[in-house]
Structure 1
């Protein structure tokens, strides 16, 4: 089925800048992106800058429909957690989306499925929208464990809050082997996993936006977005190039 015939879900493209940028380069990037994304669109767009640039980003997005997102969050509301940022603080900054469970956080900061579920809850407590990342490693895919891994990661949240909580959430499938490697799951491989996730979420699954995140580029985005269960993209490096980012946003604007 062509996505253009699916009226249930609106496409979403999220740019995760990771630990990149400064005031000058951010201003240059966003000036081009904002200028290229004017008027009404059939897709939503968000950018997730590093925390120190929230104020600057908000100022640059003031004349745009593009919204602010965060790359991570603490599971705690407040307290002696040096260096952490709470969901309540993000809400103060007009943040809309918050990434939780990104594969880099799971691998580098050893975030567990339980901790990711707690962050999901913390984000929704402040009426923000969590973007829950799930995905398998190359070894797990090659040994036939991909779907079991994704089931485990998703189920940790479902067991905590139930499927209905996903009515106000986004899921991002990011195969670890395709993140920043130049490798990309074929549209059919990605579609298989997106459909699997949707089925796991039951009735609410048909209304949940599920993004693909794994070396999405301007030259493969349109093909990915035609897949029935792919509702947009979570971008890394591609979001740091204005033309590349806009090309992907336009591919989602269907």
Structure 2
């Protein structure tokens, strides 16, 4: 039985004070949930959020990291830097990183390998553009991205990876794939993972959906057979909304 994960991706939002207040506001209301609770915040908030979340079931993740251990990479942070302050998860390959900051399938793979080697849980994002969807290329794009992201990753390590299917056309647009469409693509991604690792391992890998998830549609999405959680942007920014998502 896969443990569902509800993850908030705050993107470029919130001060330290606002972030700590958020954790304080939600921690008792999500304490007894049957899902894994994750908040992925800007770098400047991470250490304070880890401290605020001590003794709770709220885990704190980063939104990106570099694949090298050190070097002349201005503006980047390493896995060790994240681990040093208590971060447990990291988003890799979000569509906004791919679109605006030249993230490639190769760097997604390198970052995933590094996160696994260091003991961070990678949340690896895959998904198609609107043009690719309209050209009926959704499955081909997802297959290629998944295969490249998992290149060189052992079966034991693969079990700890979380995949987030995020159709790019549904991120921040208010549009969302129907729950059935999302489930169909996620079931197909699991087929791709089965081809790579076999049934036993693929059945342990969690696959989330992301794309305009909100309290009004989260229950329907989570009731689908193959969807193991949600990676949520805007609807994760307010405590009441996030609590509703977690306690769907």
Q: Secondary structure at the match of 1:159?
A: coil
From 167, 174, 179, the equivalent of 1:187 is 179
Q: Secondary structure at the match of 1:35?
A: coil
- Distance, in Å, in 2 between the alignment partners of 1:41 and 1:183 is 28
**Is 1:245 aligned to residue 239 of structure 2?**
no
**Contact conserved, 2:16 with 2:44, CA < 8 A, in 1?**
no
Q: Secondary structure at the match of 2:8?
A: strand
**Is 1:208 aligned to residue 225 of structure 2?**
no
TM-score, length basis structure 1? 0.93
- Distance, in Å, in 2 between the alignment partners of 1:86 and 1:222 is 36
Q: Secondary structure at the match of 2:203?
A: helix
TM-score, length basis structure 2? 0.95
- Distance, in Å, in 2 between the alignment partners of 1:220 and 1:122 is 34
CA displacement, residues 21-77 of structure 1 (integer Å, 9 cap, x when unaligned): 012322332221113222x33111011111111121112112311011110010111
Aligned length: 243
What RMSD in Å do the two structures reach over aligned CA positions?
Answer: 1.2
**Is 1:79 aligned to residue 71 of structure 2?**
yes
Where does structure 1 lack aligned partners over 5 or more consecutive residues?
Answer: 1-7
Where does structure 2 lack aligned partners over 5 or more consecutive residues?
Answer: none
Larger RCO, structures 1/2 (Cα 8 Å, 6+ apart):
1
Deviation beyond 4 Å, 4+ runs, structure 1: none
Query: Could you say which residue in structure 1 is the equivalent of 2:230?
Result: 233
**Contact conserved, 2:124 with 2:164, CA < 8 A, in 1?**
yes
Query: Could you say which residue in structure 2 is the equivalent of 1:54?
Result: 46
- Distance, in Å, in 2 between the alignment partners of 1:239 and 1:83 is 26
- Distance, in Å, in 1 between the alignment partners of 2:244 and 2:83 is 29
